Amino acid sequence: MSSTPSAFAVTDSTTGEEYNLFLDSVRKILHQEVAPFYDDWEEAHQVPRELWNKLGEAGLLGVDLPEEYGGSDAGPDICLMIVEEISRQGFGGLTGGYNIHSNIVIPYIERLGTDAQKQQWLPRMASGEVLGAIAMTEPGAGSDLAGMRTSAQKVDGGWKINGAKVFITNGILADMVIVCAKTDPGAEARGVSLFLVDTTLPGFARGKSIRKIGQHASDTAELFF
């Protein structure tokens, strides 16, 4: 396979002509790296892990991040354009995973994370080395944070999380998961904290890959802590 084409940097000052050139680059990347293989990915119920590295190499992950974290300081219109183009070409399964990684998990860390957490995770998420997921939904509670049962207790050296999550996009391939857990059960929804969980840590386990009616290439999983 030929090398992955690269989209040039875009910023808030990008002109209309530059925007169109970037859009053309996105289309070429999708045509080369996604279109020939997408039907196979739908059948496999996930995209290959190396696709995320290729999207990172092409500059399509975390484009709105500051340059110090591997982004391009692009505006929200560029982020939206990438998602729209992936969807327009019929790659709905990829849209879901891309949106979770680039437009939900990355912004959570950028806006709420410590400096150390940003340095640890964001550059590797922009490059595709780390794929992100977020785990809120639970069996029996859905995404109702007040009804969540997953808990986290302070222990020597950190926190211990106990619980289960379900219907987690990118759950099979994720290298890091933002986990919602109760740290103050008496405070209901206000007693919930977010934890960045490295999926190589002991005590983390993936359950079965969940089959869905559509968007099959978006891997969806049960997670256990």
CATH 1.10.540.10 fits 16-127, yes or no: yes
CA 8 and chain centroid, separation: 22
Mean predicted confidence (pLDDT) in 131-147: 91
Any idea which of 61-65, 137-141, 177-181, 184-188 has the lowest mean pLDDT?
A: 184-188
- 73 near 20, Cβ under 8 Å? no
- 26 near 7, Cβ under 8 Å? yes
What pLDDT is recorded for position 2?
47
Any idea which of 25-34, 138-147, 155-164, 169-178 has the lowest mean pLDDT?
A: 138-147
9, pLDDT greater than 90: no
Q: In this prediction, what percent of the chain has a pLDDT beyond 70?
A: 93
CA 181 and chain centroid, separation: 19
CATH number of 132-224: 2.40.110.10
Any idea which of 4-13, 17-26, 96-105, 134-143 has the lowest mean pLDDT?
A: 4-13
Domain definitions of the chain by residue range: 16-127, 132-224
What pLDDT is recorded for position 4?
58
What pLDDT is recorded for position 83?
96
Write out pLDDT tens, residues 90-106.
Answer: 999 999 999 999 999 99
What pLDDT is recorded for position 13?
55
Write out pLDDT tens, residues 160-183.
Answer: 999 999 999 999 999 999 999 999
Question: What pTM was estimated for this model as a whole?
Answer: 0.89
Burial class (CB in 10 A: 0-12, 13-18, 19+), 103: middle
- Per-residue pLDDT band at 52 (split at 50, 70, 90): very high
Mean predicted confidence (pLDDT) in 21-41: 96
